[in-house]
Amino acid sequence: MRVLGIETSCDETGLAVYDTERGLLAHALHSQMAMHEAYGGVVPELASRDHVRRVVPLTQRVLAEAGLELSAIDAIAFTRGPGLAGALLVGASVAHALGYALGKPVIGVHHMEGHLLSPLLAKPAPSFPFIALLVSGGHSQLIEVAGVGRYRVIGDTQDDAAGEAFDKAAKLLGLPYPGGPSLAKLAEHGRDGTASLPRPMRDSGNLDMSFSGLKTAVLTLVRRESGPDGLDPQRAADIAREFQHAVVDVLVEKAVAAMIDTGVRTLVVAGGVGANRELRARMQAHAAQTGVAVYFPDLEFCTDNGAMIALAGALRLGEARSADYRFDVRPRWDLASLTAPASRA
């Protein structure tokens, strides 16, 4: 079965073709980063309009790269939520229009389930069960994963997610959008031990996380140390380095605690923050020391992409709808509400 995946939840248009026997056949991605940079963040209306411009050419591109005609697609998966309502509607309407025209079933996919399962695209891929550390701009969660759709959230962020905190701290340091990668790059030039920031909820006794207070601590430090010409560049690098250390310390310690609490010896790290070099290095070092298995998606699949949506759709083919092509989107959608895939009739 060949599944066309369409991702339009925010500021990246992703298309992919996944074959249930052969794996990923082709994928393509357009990032709106340059367009939103002038505004310091995503402008929802501009994001939606750009998805309209990109989705059809990218569909044609992945089909050509896969060597397929559109008629060879067996099902279409799209991101139903969560995300920006207008952006989600672009992917949903295109998916259902294609489904109606071709007489093919359509599957609505949870965006975060796509991230959660994205390491399954890698070789070798993890086996169930595993603990997932899901870290992105909007989510910082620890999830016990027994199988597709069998999720138990065991740790959650109480305020700002890790990726959101990266972006806000970067803005305080005067770094360009997108803030997370800019801060990580600046941190490479910082000096260890020259700044001090808290590790929120390190000793909370549970697996929950909080990064809002860390962001506020950065604000206090920047205000205290800025001179008439702003913050010294080296000092900014020092703060960036300490901030990254603080976030990674919390993520690693909470993930390790989750494996100890559950007895699960496999960890998957997914979401945009999963591309962070320090986080990867620290997790891999822990794995080498303890013998646990740690898996990451390939870097190209850490950010939003169509491949993860096509994969998740392929794993939920039993839920494909073709009786009618009415649709909706879910800008807010709790991952914990998902259930195991329905069996295909």
**What confidence score (pLDDT) does residue 343 get?**
59
343 falls within a domain = no
19-42 mean pLDDT: 94
Per-residue pLDDT tens over the stretch 156-169 = 999 989 999 999 99
Are 291 and 307 found together in one domain? no
Per-residue pLDDT tens over the stretch 246-286 = 999 999 999 999 999 999 999 999 998 999 999 999 999 99
344 falls within a domain = no
Burial of 107 (0-12, 13-18, 19+ CB in 10 A): buried
345 falls within a domain = no
Are 176 and 102 found together in one domain? no
Per-residue pLDDT tens over the stretch 275-319 = 999 999 999 999 999 999 999 999 999 999 999 999 999 999 987
Are 253 and 308 found together in one domain? no
Are 284 and 322 found together in one domain? no
What's the Rg (C-alpha) of the chain? Answer: 21
Residue 182 in tokens: 């800019």
260 falls within a domain = yes
**What confidence score (pLDDT) does residue 345 get?**
41
Per-residue pLDDT tens over the stretch 205-217 = 999 999 999 999 9
Q: CA 21, 24, 26 angle in degrees (round to 5)?
A: 135
pTM: 0.93
Are 53 and 164 found together in one domain? no
207-242 burial, b at 16+ Cβ within 10 Å, e below that, comes to bbbbbbbbbebbeebbeeeeeeeebeeebbbbbbbb
332 falls within a domain = yes
Are 25 and 85 found together in one domain? yes
Per-residue pLDDT tens over the stretch 223-238 = 999 999 899 999 999 9
**What confidence score (pLDDT) does residue 270 get?**
93
CATH number at residue 271: 3.30.420.40
Residue 278 in tokens: 């320090």
Q: How far is CA 129 from the centre of its chain?
A: 20
Domain of residue 21 covers 2-116+302-337
Are 74 and 148 found together in one domain? no
Per-residue pLDDT tens over the stretch 168-220 = 999 999 999 889 999 999 999 999 999 999 999 998 999 999 999 999 999 99
Distance CA 317, CA 2 (A): 10
Question: In this model, does residue 342 exceed pLDDT 90?
Answer: no
Question: 9: pLDDT confidence band, cut at 50, 70 and 90?
Answer: very high
